[in-house]
Structure 1
Amino acid sequence: MFIHCKNYFTFLICVMGLLLINTSHAEPYLAIKNNTQCSTCHVNPAGGGARTTYGAYYGTHVLPRTAGSLDLFDAGKFGETLRIGADLRTNYYQSDRDEGEDTRGFETQSGQLYVVLQPKDSRFSLYIDEQIAPGGALNRETFILTKLNGNHFLKAGRIMLPYGIRLEDDSAFIRQASGFNFDTGDNGVELGLQYTKTLFNFALSNGSSGLNNDDKNLQFLSRAEYLGNNWRIGATALYNDAEAGARIQANLFGGFVWQGFVFLAEADLIEDESIENIPDEYQQQRVGLLEVNREISKGYNVKLTTEYLDPDANIDENQRVRHSLLLEYTPFANLQIRGGLRKGDDIPQRDAGNYLDFFAQLHFYY
């Protein structure tokens, strides 16, 4: 499939055309839609990665237009102690840019293998999330997970810290600016206090994105989330006391369901002393995301997002915005087809930030 768009009017035409053709997971909107916590579908209580039995069932029997076989459903379990899973996303992409050459081609966006080892009669399990593509192997998460009383838990090892909304799209402004995405795990410990309607996370880590700590200071994070009736709200606060300069981050996030539409949003404030390299002088960034999802038919979901980034609040008229429209089609169990358009708008002095991208993706999940 090929779409070539050169201006905003043509962009709208392409959007309409995309909606008319028949063209996860770690998708937070599904948790909001079903009014559940991430741990309902994922072994990792923070979400993403290996799926629980229910998460595997949802992906093979609830999400697709044609459900899989109940008789052959195994949920990725090998015996009583081992569970495996996988995700592979391969794309065709086209990028039209105001600066530089236009590009198009095929790529493997990401490929992951998940392994969960749960010894019999043990409250401890080993969790491994290994990226095998593109390029060389990259360990995203490896930790020991300990179940405490009730649904409380403790993790130790290389973990992705529970910061804000755990989007699958690592290129989102809220994930890039904050520094928290699937490729930036850190070594540390995390305590989770999970109740019926609330979840509290407390983490202590190196603050060095998985590298060994090069100073005596550590990073502190706390997160809280409350689930209402088809709505939720939460907040995260982080302090990284690095010798190069302290970094302070905070966000508000939440979501709700209305008339079949699923909304989610996050707003971040980031203050980084290390960039200015002047004591008590911080570079301040403001970041935001709004996402709307709508299931138009079983197996079909339309996703619209708008993003905002002010990379330096001390500079006027320095903002960037990005808008995306995606159609997600899940025809069968373990396969999702996605197609989308993304338009970036930057200031005239940064033409590289003005672009129109198109992609079509095959997503295998297990």
Structure 2
Amino acid sequence: MKHFFKALGLVLLFVGVRAEALPVYAISASSACDTCHIEPLGWANPDMSARRCTLDCAGCHVSPAGGGLRTPDGQYYGKEVLPTWGTRPSSFANPMKYKPKGFPKRGTYSLKDGFSGWWPGKRDHTTIEERYGNIEAEPTWNWGGDFRFMALNQTIGETSENYVFPMQADLYGMNESVKDLILYVSAGVQARKDEEQFDNASFRENFTIREIFIKYRLPYNSWVRFGRISPRYGWKVDDHSAFMRNDLGFNQYFSAFGMDAGFNPNYFYADMSLYYQGLQRWPGERLERGIGTTANVGFRDLGWQTGASFGYLNRRLGFDQATAGLQWAVNLNPLVVYGSADLKRNLSEMEGIDDFTGFYTFNELFLGLHRGVYGKFKYEWADPNIRVLDDHKHRVQLGLDWHPYTFVDLEASYRINWTPRVDFTNIASTEAFFIAHIWF
């Protein structure tokens, strides 16, 4: 424990919006066995209770909500699958030596043929030290970080402005001195384009400890955790301005004190959280006070996913919020299509303010063009109050994502906003941006 708190102190010296898990990575990870570790030819199939593979954010990140420090699986995926060039962990291991005679050479998955080409063997995977190549399979200590920089051109009407700013600078630390008992911390600075260059005052104002919790890992890929957490709700994307995240209150500031528990044994999943937000003295807290809960349930198969999410927040300011959403995804490797639809109901206890309901949708097509190169198209729609005429908004985004080398991600996107209806001659605003992302 003494070493853990020393490490925590080092993390707090560093200075973003946080890095989130991308749903497309979790969805597409089913396309081949070696997206998470060296091809497991000849490995024995572990009991269901011992399996950790999942098509969920929690498969690649220590935090079940996604984002932050990567697990060994997540590190392997980021180094092996994503980059165009760079040293790959599989080059440090030879899975063929565990392959019994007569086994096929490679496992595959397709919607037509299903999962084929891989047969379970007899060797216990826990006895294979190099199953993640040169990545330690069960680290006692682990560290990581995400650093993003953005160049943005924003045009509203006749006015065009340019911004260049540090978007993220986060560090993470984890300790598992006791088997399955994980201590975790994530800290950084909440940087925004409208804030001036950081000085000592702005550092103190924007510094935040995003998550600091104790998590106990249970059989059947399950967990319980306590502390400062990011509760789970629906798709968690890296664009915090997405209507289905920001307008529902699940943006980059959505962290609170509480607990959650989850159950995810290939491939059914269910989880629930209970939290208190708005502790004003906590570094980086920007949420109003309230007590809330979220819940998620669904099923993930190798070629498709479907799920539902629910949330309720009791605010001290006099009105509550209830949310409910549906999520879906299809993996047509190399194309991934996924989306969601959410309802938000504001329940007012204040005189003169009526209840109202909002409706939000999100859709994305993510296409693998070449190793490390991905094209994406997004369409979002939102109606903040279905009783009000012409208050809805639309957004279309076209982007290119390139991972040229290990630890490096470059993204260029162009976004058009319309309100209240799509009129190609009447654009509300446009945004062109470039993001450079370095992680480890």
Same fold (TM over 0.5): yes
- Partner deviation per Cα, 1:217-266 (whole Å, 9 max, x = no partner): 73222111211231101111112233412211100012111253101101
Say yes or no: does 1:114 pair with 2:161.
no
Does 1:267 pair with 2:262? Answer: no
Distance in 1 (CA, whole Å) between partners of 2:381 and 2:288 is 33
Counterpart Cα distance in 2 of 1:235 and 1:176: 18
Question: Quick one: distance in 2 between partners of 1:74 and 1:273?
Answer: 53
TM-score norm. by structure 1 comes to 0.84
Q: 1:251 aligns with which of 325, 335, 347?
A: 325
Do 2:20 and 2:237's aligned partners in 1 also have CA atoms closer than 8 Å? no
- Quote how far apart the aligned CAs of 1:211 are: 7.2
Q: 1:214/1:318 Cα in 2 relative to 1: closer, same or farther (>3 Å)? A: closer
The residue number in structure 1 matching 2:76 is 57
Asked whether the 8 Å contact 2:85–2:405 carries over to 1, the reply is: yes
User: 1:32-82 CA deviation, whole Å, 9 max, x = no partner?
Assistant: 11232222211122221110112111111211111325479765x799421
Q: Distance in 1 between matches of 2:409 and 2:419?
A: 32
Measured in 1, the distance between the counterparts of 2:69 and 2:295 equals: 24
Check whether the contact 1:160–1:180 (CA below 8 A) recurs between aligned residues.
no
Letter in 2 for 1:30: Y
The SS at the match of 2:387 is coil
Contact 2:72 2:138 in 1 (8 A): no
| Other-structure match for 2:106 | none
Shift of 1:199: 1.3
Q: Which runs of 5+ in 1 are unaligned?
A: 1-23
1:169 aligns with 2:239: yes
Q: Pick the aligned partner of 2:154 from 95, 112, 119.
A: 95
Backbone CA RMSD of aligned residues: 2.7
Calculate percent identity across the aligned residue pairs: 23
> Within the alignment, does 1:355 sit opposite 2:433 as a pair?
no
Q: Could you tell me which residue of structure 1 aligns to residue 302 of structure 2? A: 229
Structure with bigger strand share is 1
**2:360 matched residue in structure 1:** 287
1:188 partner amino acid: G
Per the alignment, do residues 154 and 324 of structure 1 end up closer, same or farther by CA in structure 2, a change over 3 Å counting? same
Structure 2, unmatched stretches of 5+, are 1-18, 31-54, 93-132, 192-197
AA in 2 matched with 1:129: S
The answer on whether the counterparts of 2:72 and 2:137 sit within 8 Å (CA) in structure 1 is no
Q: Does 1:34 align with 2:53?
A: no
**Superposition deviation, residue 214 in structure 1:** 9.0
Whichever residue aligns with residue 252 of structure 1, its letter is: L
Cα displacement (A) at 1:332: 0.5
Question: Conserved in 1, the CA contact under 8 Å of 2:288 and 2:315?
Answer: no
Asked whether the equivalents of residues 233 and 296 of structure 2 are also in contact (C-alpha less than 8 Å), the reply is: yes
**Cα 1:261–1:79, aligned 2, differ >3 Å: closer, same or farther?**
closer
Structure 2 CA distance, aligned partners of 1:299 and 1:214? Answer: 40
Residue equivalent to 1:45: 64
Alignment counterpart, residue 83 of structure 1, candidates 128, 138, 142: 142
Instruction: Supply the distance in 2 between the matched residues of 1:197 and 1:67 (Cα, whole angstroms).
Output: 32
- Using the alignment, how far apart are the partners of 1:269 and 1:222 within structure 2? 15
Q: Which moved more, 1:139-148 or 1:170-179?
A: 139-148
1:353 positional shift: 8.3
Corresponding letter in the other structure for 2:246: Q
AA of the residue aligned to 1:347:
P
CA contact (8 A) 2:329 2:336 kept: yes
Counterpart residue type for residue 125 of structure 1 = I
Deviation at 1:279, TM superposition (A): 8.8
In the other structure, the counterpart of 2:187 is 130
TM-score w.r.t. structure 2 length?
0.70
